[in-house]
Amino acid sequence: MLTVGLIHYLILSGVLFSIGFCGVLTQRNVIRIIMCLEIMLNAVNISLIAFSRYIVPEMLTGQIFAIFVMVVAAAEVAVGIAIIFSIYRNRESVDIENFNILKW
Amino acid sequence: MLEELTISITFYLIAAIAVVSALGVIVLRDIFKAALCLVLLFMSVAGVYMMLHADFLAIIQILIYVGAISVLIIVAVMLTRDVRQGFPLSKIKYPAVIVALLLICLIGYGLINTAFALSTKLPLDETIKPIGKQLFSEGGYLLTVEMAAVLLLSAILGAIAIIREK
């Protein structure tokens, strides 16, 4: 219990992922939803690096995968915030309930 | 023994900061404070990377997340006006909380009942050189690096194209 091992990091990652998941489902502000997405991506990165550290410590596979996750996260935030701004210009709101332009 | 105790105390401290600031992101009414909580979360995740002997990843975490992504999010908070007073939560809030709690229980159950093939080898002392070798060498991840470059370029161009005034 006292010695920190793989399980501890994975549980921390799971807790952070669940908090982010809960936030994505409960919040109505789109910017806050993007923040919660970032929490989820960080949680996944923690578990990738923990697996890499404790299962293949000399291969760094998980760390390289985490780098690419960060690249995708940066691209996602840039495009996501651009979309939010362009909808905000039309609708004057960041409430997810008003983002129904694609609704048929 | 003493070293182990220090490591576990540091881990629990960092984990507590991470969980509390993650809860702050979804609980605080003022979205600017929530964004600051997010910065704290990114820093504590960088601390977790340090504890996992991933020094390069910790630096990258601070550069990209704390330096770039949180600035983008804070700019977005400041440019959208009606965010200060906060919104009520969405209609599915109770099912969402229940599903999230179930998810935690499921993850914990799965972790306790899984035997991981743990390695006893020590981690590498410094990871920058091996990561660079794996990313750019023959038979490594060179194609993926180039695809990441194309992805970033198209994301930049896409963001500019979406946000431009007609």
Task: Give the domain extent around B71.
Answer: 2-126
The CATH number covering residue B51 comes to 1.20.120.1200
The answer to whether A65 and A44 have CB atoms below 8 angstroms apart is no
CA-nearest residue to A74 within chain B is B69
CA nearest A5: which of B157, B45, B4, B135? Answer: B4
Residues B44 and B69 in one domain: yes
Confidence label for A97 from pLDDT (cuts 50, 70 and 90) = confident
Residues B74 and B139 in one domain: no
Instruction: Spell out the per-residue pLDDT of chain B, length 166, in tens.
Output: 788 889 999 999 999 999 999 999 998 888 889 999 999 999 999 999 999 999 999 999 999 999 999 999 999 988 886 655 566 777 788 899 999 999 999 999 999 898 888 888 888 888 899 999 888 988 788 999 999 999 999 999 999 999 887 6
Which DSSP helix (H) or strand (E) runs through A63? helix A61-91
Distance to chain A for B137, nearest Cα, Å: 13
Residues B158 and B89 in one domain: no
Q: Which structural domains are found in chain A, ordered by start?
A: 6-92 (1.10.287.3510)
Disruptive mutation site among A6, A15, A69 for chain B (greatest number of B CBs within 10 Å)? A15
Strand partners, A29: A95
Of B75, B107, B121, the CB nearest to A14: B107
Residues B148 and B121 in one domain: no
Q: What is the ipTM of this complex?
A: 0.92
Strand partners, A95: A29
Helices (H), chain B: 2-27, 31-51, 55-60, 70-79, 93-112, 128-136, 142-163
Task: Compute and round to an integer the Cα radius of gyration of chain B.
Answer: 20
The chain-wide mean pLDDT, for chain A, equals 90
| Contact flag B25-A36 (C-beta cutoff 8 Å) | yes
Q: How many domains does chain B have?
A: 2
User: Residues B94, B99, B105, B111: is their CA dihedral positive or negative?
Assistant: negative
Task: Name residues 60-89 of chain A within 8 A of B (Cβ).
Answer: 60, 63-64, 66-68, 70-79, 81-86, 88
Residues B148 and B163 in one domain: yes
Residues B120 and B133 in one domain: no
Render pLDDT for A2-23 as a digit per residue (tens, 0 to 9). Answer: 788 899 999 999 999 999 999 9
Global pTM?
Answer: 0.92
Residues B72 and B148 in one domain: no
- Say whether residue A49 is in contact with chain B using an 8 A CB cutoff: yes
Residues B88 and B25 in one domain: yes
| Contact flag A57-B122 (C-beta cutoff 8 Å) | yes
- Say whether residue A91 is in contact with chain B using an 8 A CB cutoff: no
Residues B122 and B136 in one domain: no
| Contact flag A77-B49 (C-beta cutoff 8 Å) | no
Disruptive mutation site among A21, A60, A95, A101 for chain B (greatest number of B CBs within 10 Å)? A60
